[in-house]
A and B are shown apart, each in its own frame.
Chain A
C-alpha cells in the first residue's frame, strides 16, 4: 500500500479565480475551487491507501467478502437505468420491473419462500422490515398487544436486537450451549408473548443449527414466527432452504451472498422474503405481472406501507440479478467451495495450535479464540494488525461476543488453496514472532496503529473542528 501525506481537500491550494455571483444570497461557502487534475490526484492517492477485495485476501467473518465480478459493474453503467426516473409511467419502466420481477422469483427458488420485496436497502433494513411484518401480522390476528417479545440468541448479530427494538419489541436474549441454540433456554423463553425468534443458520460461529426442525416446532407451538437472518446463506445455497427449515420471514444480503460489492460500507440490498400467509403485509408497491405487462401494485390494504423512498437499491438489485444469471443452478458450487475452504483453513490453523472453541465441522466460516495468547500479552487486535503487514485483511475480531478474543474467519469460495496456505503460514509465523512486533503492528501500513480512544474523546469530525 502506498503512503502519502495527503492533504485534506481544503488544504490543497486553490487555483481558480473566485466567481462572484452578485445575486447569490449566500456569500460564505467554504468549499475549495480546485482543478480536475488536483482532484483526481487527491482521490487516486486516497484510493492507494485503502485495502480492497481486489488487493488481496479479505476473510472478514460474517461479511462474505467475495470477489466482485467485473460484469456486475458493467451492467449498471447504462443510461437505461442511470437516467430512468422511478415515477415514470409503467410503460417507460418495463425493463426495470422485469428485472425486479425475475429477481424476486429467483430469490424465492433459492430460499424456498413464496414472495419477496426488494425494497429494503441493507440487511438491517430487511430485519426491520421483517419485524414490522411480524408486528402487522399479530395486529391482524388481534394479538398485537400481547406479542411484545422477540427472542435472539446471544450469538446473534447486533443488528437483530437493534432492529427488533426499533420495530417496538422487547428483546430477550438467550444463551447458547456448545455453540448452538440451547433448546432448554429457548423453550423457557418462548411464550404467548413471543412474536418472533430471530436466528442465523448456520449461526455466527459457522455451526449449523441441526435442531432447526425442533426449533421451528417449538416456535410454532406458541404461535410465534421464525425469522431467518440471511447473512450466512452462502453456506447452504442449493443444499437446503430457509423455507424447508421452517422459517416464515427471511432477509438476504445481496452484497454478501450474491456478490455485489460492499462499497466501503454500502450500498447493499436486503430483500425480504415471506411465506404465503405473510405476503399481504409486504411493503408497497409490489411488482406484479398482468396480461404480459409488469405493473407496480399499490392496492394492498394490509401492507406495512413503505420502508424506503422508492423501490430499493435498484442498481444493486441489477448486479445481483447478473450474478445469479451467470451462476444459475451452479450457485450450489459456491456453497460447497466456501464450506470446503473454511473447513480446510480451520484444520490448518488448528494444527498450528490455534484454538477452535466448540470444535466441530463448520460451514462457510469459523471462529478462533485467541485467549491463549493473552498470557504472552497478545490480543486478537494485535494479531489482526500484524496480519496487515503480511498483506492480508484481518478477520472480524471480538465477534461473536460469546467467544473470548474472537477471531472470525470467512474465506469465501473464491480463494485458492495457495492463498489459504499462505494465510496459515502467516498465522504460524506470528506465533514465533517477538511479542513487541505484534503489539506495535502494523509496521508497513500508510499509518502506524491508530489511536481510536483519542478520536472518541476529542470528536474531531470535520475540517472546521480540526482548525480549532
Chain B
C-alpha cells in the first residue's frame, strides 16, 4: 500500500476522500469487531438451528414445495466459472454459460410448447407482473383478468406491477368444480391469466373452451404452469397460450422462499416485446457456432426509460440449476417424478378422506389438493405444532375450513402415514 500511496504522491488514503464535505463524514462504522471464519460459520449454524426443516418436521405446504435435488446439480452450480461470473456481455469469454442459457431456453420451450423463453424473471409472481405489462404493450388495452382463486402474494405483486401502467385487475370467479368460469364477458381485456394446475391444484383440460375465451375477448392468454406437471400433461400451447409463466423450482432448494426462478416464455411473434435477457445462436468470425445475448435493444441499458422492463440482474444461476436438473433426469426421470408426485398426492387425499375430510372439488389434481374437515385449518395446524408434523395452508378465504395440501416425491408413504395419524390425533383432541 505504501508504494501505491507514494505513486499517487499522497500520505494517506484519507486524501482520496477529500471530495466528501466534512459535514457528512462519519467516524467509522458502529459495528462489531471483525470475526474469524470459524466463528461466523458456527454462529450462523447456531441461529439457523432454530429453524425447523422438512426433515425435522415434515410439512404439506403448497405454492412452493420440497423436492429432491440430485447431488450432481450442486456440483454443476458450484463451478466458480458459473456462479462468480457476471451477465455474459463478453460473449467470447462466456461461451459456456451462454450455451447453458440457450439450452435452458430450449428446455423451457419444449416443456411449455412456446417458441422462446428468456433467462428468468425473479419469481413467478414478478413474471406474472411482467406478462401483464407485456400484454398491455401488445394489445394496448388495460384490463387483466385473473382467477379469483390465486395465491394472495402473487396477486399483491401483480397489483404493484400493474400500478404504473394503470392496468385494471379483474377477478373471475370459479365454479363449483373449482375451475375458472370461462364464460366471463368483459371489454378492453389485454390478457386472461389462467393457472394450470390452478391454485386448488386442479388440472384444467378445457383446451377448446379456454382457447375460445381468448378469441372471444380478443385478449392474450397468459398461462401459469408447474413445469413438473408438463412432463405428463399437455403444454399450454394446446390451448393457444401466448405467454407462459411459472416457478422454475427444478434443482433449486426452497431456501425460505428465495431465490426462486420466474419462468417466462412466449410465442415467437412477441419476442421483441419480451422483458429480460435472451440468448441467441450465431457464429464467430470463422463461422463456428457461437452464442451471445441478443435482442438487447429491448433492454434498459440501451433503451433506458423506453425499455420493455427495468430488469437487469435476474436469477441466471437458478436457470443453470433448472437445466442441470432436467438434463440429469431426462424425459424418463421427469415423467417418473411427476407421476410419483401425483400418486403421493392421491394417496394422501385418500387417507385424509378416510379420517373424515372431504374433497370439495371433484376434479383431477396434480400434487396439490383442497380438503374440508370439521376443523379449521389454523386450529389444526396449531394442534399439530407439538406433534412433529405440519399440515397444509388454510384457505378459509375461499373455502370454509378448506386446507390446501402440497405433496411431492419427498412425501414417502411413511411420512404420509405418520402425518395422517397425527392429524387424526389432533382432530380428536378436546379443546
Beta-carbon contacts under 8 Å, B260-274 to A: 260, 268, 271
Q: Does B186 contact A (CB under 8 A)?
A: no
* A122:B165 contact, CB within 8 angstroms: no
Q: Does A430 contact B (CB under 8 A)?
A: no
Residue interface mask A10-40, B partner, CB < 8 A = 1: 1000001011010011100111111010011
Q: Does A426 contact B (CB under 8 A)?
A: no
Q: Does A310 contact B (CB under 8 A)?
A: yes
**Contact partner, A448, options B93, B153, B160, B284, Cβ 8 Å:** B284
Residues of B in contact, count (CB < 8 Å): 177
Q: Does B326 contact A (CB under 8 A)?
A: yes
* B285:A451 contact, CB within 8 angstroms: yes
CA distance A267 to B252 in the complex (A): 12
* B84:A53 contact, CB within 8 angstroms: yes
Beta-carbon contacts under 8 Å, A260-278 to B: 261-268, 270
* B64:A85 contact, CB within 8 angstroms: yes
User: Closest CB of chain A to B259's CB: distance in Å?
Assistant: 4
Q: Does B53 contact A (CB under 8 A)?
A: yes
Give 21 pairs: A residue, B residue, CB < 8 Å, sorted on A. Answer: A34-B328, A50-B88, A52-B80, A74-B41, A85-B54, A85-B64, A85-B66, A86-B64, A89-B390, A98-B50, A158-B299, A164-B305, A165-B305, A244-B24, A263-B315, A328-B32, A329-B32, A340-B5, A451-B290, A462-B106, A465-B115
* B95:A50 contact, CB within 8 angstroms: yes
- In the assembled complex, which residues on chain A have CB atoms less than 8 Å from the CB atom of B8? 340, 343-344, 347
Beta-carbon contacts under 8 Å, A300-314 to B: 304-314
Beta-carbon contacts under 8 Å, B3-47 to A: 3-5, 7-8, 13, 16-21, 23-26, 28-35, 37, 40-41, 43-45, 47
Q: Does A121 contact B (CB under 8 A)?
A: yes
CA distance A99 to B327 in the complex (A): 34
Q: Does A445 contact B (CB under 8 A)?
A: yes
CA distance A458 to B299 in the complex (A): 18
- In the assembled complex, which residues on chain B have CB atoms less than 8 Å from the CB atom of A384? 90
- In the assembled complex, which residues on chain B have CB atoms less than 8 Å from the CB atom of A128? 310
- In the assembled complex, which residues on chain A have CB atoms less than 8 Å from the CB atom of B117? 461-462
Q: Does B282 contact A (CB under 8 A)?
A: yes
By CB atoms of chain A within 10 A, which of B120, B301, B306 has the most?
B301
Q: Does B331 contact A (CB under 8 A)?
A: yes
- In the assembled complex, which residues on chain A have CB atoms less than 8 Å from the CB atom of B258? 86, 121, 267, 308-316
Q: Does A431 contact B (CB under 8 A)?
A: no
Q: Does A321 contact B (CB under 8 A)?
A: yes
- In the assembled complex, which residues on chain B have CB atoms less than 8 Å from the CB atom of A135? 163
Q: Does A466 contact B (CB under 8 A)?
A: yes
* A159:B324 contact, CB within 8 angstroms: no
* A264:B50 contact, CB within 8 angstroms: no
Q: Does B283 contact A (CB under 8 A)?
A: yes
Q: Does A140 contact B (CB under 8 A)?
A: no
